[in-house]
Amino acid sequence: MPLSESPTSPLQSFRYCPGCGHPDPAHDGPRSIRCPACGFRYFVNSAATVCGFVFYGDQIILTQRGREPQKGKFDFPGGFMEWGESAEDALQREIAEELGIQVHSLAYVCSTANDYPYAGVTYKLADFYFLCRTDDIPPLQPQDDVADVLLVEPQAVDTSLFSFPSVKEAHARLLAYLVAGPRRVG
């Protein structure tokens, strides 16, 4: 089923053109609308998120979701990128907001596609995962939208506790990355 016909598509929210107010903008392909009156065109693209495989020594930090979707399930600290942010800046901001710690030595590991259902709409996400480190952690206190924090060995993670299939996929790719080491380009 094309995105524009999905009952949970963000495109279904557009009852009027955001440019001129004309009713019922036309679906112009599976992920865009176009206004026949003024020509305004809007595309629905994936939203970018960043996630950190945050290591403290040989252990990794997992966060328990404090809000829907998947409240109570676990994933890695991170969140949505804001306009004008680099992925690295967004990750450092999100980890500071969620955990109150600073990270360094960011290295890109992988990306995953994710479906994120929220308030009756399923958003398409592109999740970017980075390996990073923290040198000093106070007793971890959940902040922002985090309910709890765990510090565990990466190989000992119970993946049935993960919030989304994409998080499970990213964890598997982290384990492979740790075994193989970073790939060189060129």
pLDDT in tens, the chain (186 residues): 344 444 457 787 788 999 999 998 998 877 899 999 999 999 989 999 999 999 999 999 999 999 999 999 999 999 999 999 999 999 999 999 999 999 999 999 999 999 999 888 888 999 999 999 999 887 777 777 899 999 999 999 999 999 999 999 999 999 999 998 766 544
Q: Which pLDDT score is estimated for 14?
A: 86
Neighbours of 170 (CB within 10 A): 25
Query: Long-range contacts made by residues 138-143, C-beta under 8 angstroms, separation at least 24?
Result: 138/100, 138/101, 140/61, 140/99, 140/101, 141/99, 141/100, 142/63, 142/64, 142/66, 142/98, 142/99, 143/97, 143/98, 143/99, 143/100
Pick the CATH number of 47-179 from 3.40.190.10, 3.40.50.720, 3.30.1950.10, 3.90.79.10: 3.90.79.10
Distances 183 to 84, 167, 168 between C-alpha atoms, Å: 28, 21, 21
DSSP string, the chain: --GGGSTT-GGGG-SB-TTT--BSPEE-STTEEE-TTT--EEE--PEEEEEEEEEETTEEEEEEE-SSSSTT-EE-SEEEPPTT--HHHHHHHHHHHHHS---EEEEEEEEEEEEEEETTEEEEEEEEEEEEE-S---S----TTEEEEEEE-GGG--GGGBSSHHHHHHHHHHHHHHHH-PPPP-
Q: Answer yes or no: are the C-beta atoms of 31 and 45 closer than 8 Å.
A: yes
- Domain positions in the chain: 3-43, 47-179
What does pTM read for this prediction? 0.85
Q: Which pLDDT score is estimated for 184?
A: 54
Tell me how far apart the alpha carbons of residues 165 and 153 are, in angstroms, rounded to a whole number: 20
Q: Which pLDDT score is estimated for 7?
A: 43
Q: Which pLDDT score is estimated for 142?
A: 74
Q: Which pLDDT score is estimated for 8?
A: 58
